[in-house]
Each structure stands twice: as structure tokens, then as C-alpha cells.
Amino acid sequence: MAPSEGGSRAKIGTREPREVGVMPEVDLAIVDGWQRIPGLSSSISDILDELGYATAVAATHLPGRLPGRCVVGRAVTVRYLPERRSREHAEDGLIHKSAMAIAARGDVLVVEGDGVGLWSVFGGLAAHRAVECGIAGVIVDGAVRDLDQISALQLPVWSRGVTSVTGRGRLEGVGINVPVRVAGVQVRPGDVVVADDSGVCFVPPEVLAEVGRRLRDLTDEEAKILQSR
């Protein structure tokens, strides 16, 4: 059943951040068909290594919460910092609804949360909204909760942790589409996210075409090696 839109919970995640950045142009035609390539994040990680980009994260730090899923899409970033006021005095600082309102279908939410995994910034209600908005996946350097609801919705989520404890009143959403730190790497809005069971990579749009060319070569090479066995 769809959650009620009437009560105060309908407002969770609607807070407006102080800073909203601009999404760059990204030629998404380049990533057509990537999702069907076996071992995708590993190949992308190798290519990023070759090109000198340190923007790949191991699944050890950001495990997929829905095994077997592969997501490729443009990053809409969300940045949280610790609330400055004590929980009793703080408002709901979650901003995922505001972020989804400016996202396009197929985008991936990339969230700098508490960086530890103790406080949730994304749960069942947020997941319902994400599915309605056509969000392709969610990456959280922090925690998510309501895993049963997220799984029932089949929304692919990668997160550092899972918790029952909400980040509402503990974290403040300060920016949408601003650079964020995710498991030690810098992610910018418009980076192409490639996430599967091995890890999460972020491809800067300025090298997307070159990554696409190298991915084709690498995929052909691996297919030939497998055929010749």
C-alpha cells in the first residue's frame, strides 16, 4: 500500500538545502548497453586506473543491499553534515525529496551521509518516492533503514551501513548537486555511476567517451579470451 501523504511523515525529506548546484551536460547515449556487460564495475575501475582517476570504491565499503543488481546512471548528489543543534532543537534535516524533485528518471542519488553507517538518511518512505520518480539506484556513504521495504520495492541501494536509527534531527542536508565525499572519493554531480556487486565507480563526464571506447575494446578482448579456452 502507498504510504499516506497526509501526515507529518509525508514531509520527511522536504527540507531545502542552502546550496543547489548545476548539473552538467552528460551524453548518456554513450552508456547505452553498459548494464548488460559482465564484470562491469571491475572493467570501469581498470579503465579509471589507466586514465588516472581515483574514483572507484570497493563493495567492501559500499556493499549492494540487493545482490545481483547493476546500475548505470547520472549522479544527483546530496550532502549531509552533522546538525549543529541538539536533537530536541533541530528540525528534520533530510532533503531526499527535494533532491528527487530536480532529478530526471534514470538518475542515481549519491549521498554523503554520516560516513560511518550509524544514522539513516534513506528508508522505506524515501524508497517509495524514489520509485515514483524513476530513480535508478541509491548510493549512501552512511546508513539506510527499512531494508524490508526497500527490498520489496526492488530499489537497488548501496550503503556503508544499515541501522534502525534515523538521521532526522542528527544530520542536516546542506547541498544538492554539489561535490560530495563518498568512501574517500570525490563525486561531482553528473558523474556517471556504475554500481554492481563488486563496487561503485564514478566516471567523470569529461572522460565518458574515452571510457566507452576502452570499455568496448576490453569487453571484446575478454570475450575472445573466454572463447579461446
Ligand X SMILES: O=C([O-])CC(=O)C(=O)O
In the numeric block, the cell 507529518 is attached to 8
Footprint on this chain of Mg ion (rule: CB under 5 A) = 123-124, 146
Nearer to ligand X, 88 or 206 (CB): 88
The sign of the CA dihedral 27, 183, 64, 155 is negative
Per-residue interface string for the shown chain with ligand X, residues 164-203, x marking contact by CB under 6 A: --xxx-----------------------------------
- Binding test (CB under 6 A) with ligand X, winner from 78, 108, 111, 125: 125
When asked if residue 109 is in the footprint of ligand X (CB under 6 A), the reply is no
**Between the CA of residue 163 and those of 64, 94, 123, 159, 197, what are the distances in Å?**
15, 16, 10, 11, 21
User: Of 124 and 161, which has the nearer Cβ to Mg ion?
Assistant: 124
In terms of C-beta density within 10 A (0-12 exposed, 13-18 middle, 19 or more buried), how is residue 74 classed?
Answer: buried
What one-letter code names the amino acid at 150? I
CA neighbor of 195 nearest in space, from 45, 52, 46: 45
Smallest distance, ligand X to C-beta of residue 210, A: 38
**Beta carbon of residue 80, minimum distance to ligand X (angstroms, whole number):** 11
Stretch near ligand X under the rule CB under 6 A, chosen from 36-44, 49-57, 161-169, 205-213: 161-169
Per the annotation, does 145 bind a ligand?
yes
d(CA 217, CA 210): 11
CA atoms within 13 A on the CB side of 217: 8
Binding site residue list for Mg(2+) = 146
Site residues, ligand X (CB under 6 A): 12, 120-121, 123-126, 145-146, 166-168
